[in-house]
Amino acid sequence: MNKGNTIDAHKLASYQFELPEELIAQYPIEPRDYSRLLVVDRSDGHREDRTFRDIIDYLEPGDTLVLNDTRVIPARLLAHKNTGARVELLLLKKDGDKWEALAKPARRLKPGDTVLFDNSEVEAEILDELPLAGGRLIKFKNCVDEAAFLEKTGHVPLPPYINRSDEELDISRYQTVYARYSGSSAAPTAGLHFTPELLGRIGERGINITTILLHVGLGTFRPVSCSDIRQHSMHSEYYQMDKNTAGLLNTTRKEGKSIIAVGTTVVRTLETVYNEGCGFEASQGYTDKFIYPGYEFKTVDKILTNFHLPGSSLIMLAAAFGGMNHILSAYRYAVQERYRFFSYGDAMLIK
């Protein structure tokens, strides 16, 4: 990270930082809400070191907490070709009866190839190459119940910076306690810190809790590679917001209360659906919204988020909301104070 006062918000290099490997969380904290919480005031950059369960101290009666109730699927599949060569598929997004997926090593999988799965009659046919590195369009064959097949055969799609195989604990821990609708290839990690008890305490204080849906896919975790970040294109992800949530958010805004987004996926969804003429409306579709410094936020007053990868679109969104200098300084502080980073790491509240 650039430590000077002049930071070019459009340069990818501005979002890079040194992170000791031991700060990349390999396992989650137990219980969930015992993780640490760094509170950053975006008006002046002031920081507070708290515990996640203290989040309730920053919420007021009448505020609305917005969660993403997507559910992570066992999207990582280990397979092999007829030759015995091992391959791996990461399911990204369902497209009718087909799936967009990432293949590894992709060079081994050409259109027309078929891959097999151990102890299963199910096969996956490679239909086409997609315009993204390692991208393939696939279709399952001999698969009567796709969901049951994935539950039996698939693995928890832990990110590559977690240097271990998925374990039984990950089935529940790489999932929010309020997950409902299956479709994500990665967890909305800011929500992993909540427990049912903490959510209950929040509700008892008169704080509204509502949900949107965004299925986390390549748009969220694909790295930015352009030296000028304005040239980066987000991969689209499916979102949905119902009329009850839209009405509650409009009421919250009308009454002068705060909307708190739990995670960047919630921010991107709210900023996608909001209409300045009529406010929030029930909506569904696909969003490829890319938020970086210079963006004018219309919908959120506070953002709860984790500590993200260097050079990712997620840290760019945090910098857009909290102020470039404040957020980059907070990241340096988090490294200094040995906060835990990434999916199973600690959290930050930007207020």
Angstrom CA distances, 48 to 39, 118, 314, 321, 347, stand at 5, 50, 22, 18, 12
Q: What's the rounded Cα separation, in Å, for the pair 228 and 226?
A: 5
Residue at which a domain ends, from 96, 125, 155: 155
The answer to whether position 164 is within a domain reads no
Please give the residue range of the domain that contains residue 95. Answer: 76-155
CA distance 299 to 12: 26
* Within a domain: 162: no
Q: What is the pLDDT of residues 218-254, one digit of tens each?
A: 777 788 999 999 999 998 999 999 999 999 999 999 9
- Segment 10-16 shows an average pLDDT of 97
Whether 2 is in a domain gets the answer: no
Asked if residue 259 has pLDDT above 90, the reply is yes
Quick one: which of 142, 144, 140 has its CA closest to 124?
A: 140
One domain, residues 176 and 60 = yes
206 and 284 together in one domain? yes
Q: What is the pLDDT of residue 4?
A: 44
> Bridge partners of 138?
99, 126
pLDDT tens digits, one per residue of 163-207: 999 999 999 999 999 999 999 999 999 999 999 999 999 999 999
Which of 102, 122, 155 finishes a domain? 155
Q: What is the pLDDT of residues 293-338, one digit of tens each?
A: 999 999 999 999 999 999 999 999 999 999 999 999 999 999 999 9
Q: What is the DSSP string of 63-99?
A: -EEEEE-EEE---EEEEE-TT--EEEEEEEEEETTEE
- Entry pTM: 0.95
Q: Is the pLDDT of residue 6 over 90?
A: no
Examine the domain organization and report whether 312 and 207 are in the same domain: yes
Is residue 31 domain-shared with residue 175, that is, in the same domain? yes
pLDDT on residue 229: 97
Counting Cα atoms < 13 Å in the Cβ hemisphere of 325 gives 9
Domains contained in the chain, number = 2
Query: What CATH code is carried by the domain that includes residue 186?
Result: 3.40.1780.10
Q: Are residues 118 and 248 located together in one domain of the fold?
A: no
135, 100 in Cβ contact below 8 A?
Answer: yes
The verdict on residue 268 lying in a domain is yes
